[in-house]
């Protein structure tokens, strides 16, 4: 219902409920439910007052990110009071919503694309609505991304015409590129069930058993490039290289390479790097570019992992240009797009999701990277630790 000025008379709570439903449904871990994101600009178009718009976008981000609450509770454990977990979630929702609230006084046809662009730049810009580009327009790469910007802006201006044209173009794209991009021969991702062994202080026996398990699986694999999850090896150092050298020597003899997620301690209190170690026929180290704010990257204390979003985005291995996306980076549009500028032929999606067991976070992570993979039609090799 609208009053004489053309503005909606509905209570902001109605917009909050609708926003939360859009966020929770789209980001539920099911790829094709990302289509629901097209309802967001329709909801913002219906919001005639700043309070209605703020309610809609705050609730959307709350619905999209609610799994952070149980996830943070497991990750931080007893060190975190339940109130602290809720506070952390509330801060995340507010930060994600601010660009959208600030564009409330701008014509939505321009404001929505602007808010989407700001979200790509921020290291907190998780679960961007732009991710739907991979579901709408597979294999269209940068053209499809630009078209998605236009679609979100135009839905708020001319919804019926825009949705009709979007449906036709999306149908053509799906007919032209059915299925999913095929993983190149010789690549294998290995899922593990090591729990928090790679990130928590655990017994030497546990670390030894983890290392032996990884080496055994690497030697048993027939793949040229075998990928293991994020941070499954704790505190990699020169001694680690020496202990693993017989395995590396055998891999070199066979022309094969193992890619292992590890942490590397740095000078200072609680400072470390979150890296991928390449060993065997190739030797290299690749650092995570955008770690999780607060939990890993904490600029106020100087502890944890440093952020360097403009760090190396790809490496060459066995004739492929490989773009690793380490855990949190898979939720962000920015690192993905920076990698795509380097024209990769393979994506590596590695994660350590032990802390998210029992939540939809791993499914949402997979949903996000699958969408970007489809947009640029670059196959993804996944390796996840539980």
Torsion of CA 56, 61, 64, 67, to 10 degrees: -130
Regarding whether 215 and 98 lie in a shared domain, the answer is no
List the helix and strand counts (H, then E) for the chain.
Answer: 13, 11
Could you give the 3-state DSSP secondary structure of residue 293? strand
- Residue 173's Cα: distance from chain center in Å? 24
pLDDT of residue 58: 97
Please tell me whether residues 157 and 210 are part of one structural domain: no
Same domain, 164 and 291: no
Is position 287 within any domain? Answer: yes
Question: Structural domain of residue 80, as residue ranges?
Answer: 12-176
CA dihedral defined by 75, 359, 273, 84, rounded to 10 degrees?
Answer: -40
Q: What is the pLDDT of residue 336?
A: 96
76 in a domain, yes or no?
yes
Segment 283-314, tens digit of pLDDT: 999 999 999 988 888 888 878 999 998 899 99
Residue 3 lies in a domain: no
DSSP assignment letter at 33: G
By DSSP bridging, strand 320-326 and strand 315-317 are antiparallel
Q: Are residues 157 and 282 in the same domain?
A: no
* Bridge partners of residue 258, in order along the sequence: 226, 279
Residue 136 burial by Cβ neighbours in a 10 Å radius (0-12, 13-18, 19+): buried
241 shares its domain with 128: no
Output the pLDDT for position 263. 93
299 in a domain, yes or no? yes
Same domain, 340 and 215: yes
- Map residue 312 onto helix, strand or coil: coil
6 in a structural domain = no
What is the CB-side half-sphere exposure of residue 323 using CA atoms within 13 A?
A: 23
- Distance between CA atoms of 285 and 273, rounded to whole angstroms? 10
The residue out of 114, 147, 176 marking a domain boundary is 176
Query: What pLDDT score was predicted for residue 288?
Result: 97
The enclosing domain of 245 has a CATH number of: 3.60.110.10
- 278 plus 138 within the same structural domain: no
CA 243 to the chain's CA centroid: 33
Residue where one domain finishes, among candidates 176, 211, 246: 176
How confident is the model at residue 1, as a pLDDT?
47
Q: What stretch of H or E contains 259?
A: strand 257-265
Q: What is the pLDDT of residue 207?
A: 83
Residue 381 inside a domain? The answer is: yes
335 and 375 in a common domain: yes
The segments of the chain whose pLDDT lies below 50 read: 1-6
Tokens representing 117 are 């662009």
Asked if 169 and 86 sit in the same domain, the reply is yes
Q: Which pLDDT belongs to residue 200?
A: 54
C-alpha distance from residue 62 to each of 56, 86, 124, 205 (Å)? 10, 11, 14, 41
Evaluate whether residue 56 is within a structural domain.
Answer: yes
Claim to verify: residue 233 and residue 350 sit in the same structural domain? yes
The residue with tokens 């503005």 is 7
Asked if 196 and 319 sit in the same domain, the reply is yes
- Total domains in the fold of the chain: 2
Same domain, 193 and 289: yes
pLDDT at position 354, please? 87
Domain limit, last residue, from 113, 143, 176: 176
Q: What is the H or E stretch that residue 114 is in?
A: helix 108-121
193 lies in a domain? Answer: yes
Strands laid side by side in the 346-352 sheet: 315-317, 320-326, 346-352, 380-385
């Amino acid at each position: 219902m609208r009053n004489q000025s053309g503005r909606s008379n509905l209570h902001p709570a109605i917009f909050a409920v609708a926003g939360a439903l859009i966020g929770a449904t789209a980001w539920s871990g099911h790829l094709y439910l990302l289509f629901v994101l097209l309802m967001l600009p329709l909801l913002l178009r219906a919001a005639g007052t700043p309070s209605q718009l703020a309610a809609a976008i705050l609730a959307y981000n709350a619905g999209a990110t609610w799994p952070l609450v149980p996830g943070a509770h497991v990750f931080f454990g007893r060190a975190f009071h339940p109130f602290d977990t809720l506070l952390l979630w509330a801060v995340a929702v507010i930060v994600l919503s601010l660009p959208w609230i600030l564009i409330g006084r701008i014509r939505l046809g321009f404001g929505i694309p602007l808010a989407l662009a700001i979200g790509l730049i921020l290291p907190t810009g998780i679960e961007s609505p732009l991710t739907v580009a991979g579901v709408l327009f597979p294999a269209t790469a940068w053209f499809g991304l630009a078209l998605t910007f236009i679609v979100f802006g135009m839905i708020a201006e001319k919804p019926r015409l825009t949705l009709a044209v979007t449906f036709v173009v999306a149908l053509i794209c799906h007919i032209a590129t059915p299925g999913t991009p095929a993983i190149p021969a010789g690549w294998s991702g290995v899922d593990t069930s090591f729990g928090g062994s790679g990130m928590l202080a655990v017994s030497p026996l546990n670390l030894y058993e983890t290392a032996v398990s990884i080496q055994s699986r690497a030697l048993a694999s027939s793949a040229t490039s075998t990928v293991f999850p994020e941070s499954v090896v704790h505190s990699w150092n020169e001694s680690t290289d020496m202990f693993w050298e017989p395995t590396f020597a055998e891999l070199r003899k066979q022309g094969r390479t193992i890619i292992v997620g590890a942490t590397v301690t740095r000078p200072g209190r609680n400072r470390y790097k979150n890296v991928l170690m390449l060993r065997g026929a190739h030797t290299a180290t690749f650092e995570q570019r955008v770690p999780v704010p607060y939990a890993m990257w904490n600029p106020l204390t100087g502890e944890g992992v440093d952020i360097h979003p403009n760090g190396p985005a790809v490496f060459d291995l066995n004739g492929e240009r490989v773009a690793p996306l380490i855990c949190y980076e898979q939720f962000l549009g920015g690192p993905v797009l920076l990698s795509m500028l380097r024209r990769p032929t393979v994506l590596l999606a590695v994660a350590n999701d032990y802390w998210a067991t029992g939540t939809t976070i791993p499914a949402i992570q997979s949903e996000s990277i699958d969408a970007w993979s489809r947009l640029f039609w670059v196959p993804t090799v996944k390796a996840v630790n539980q």
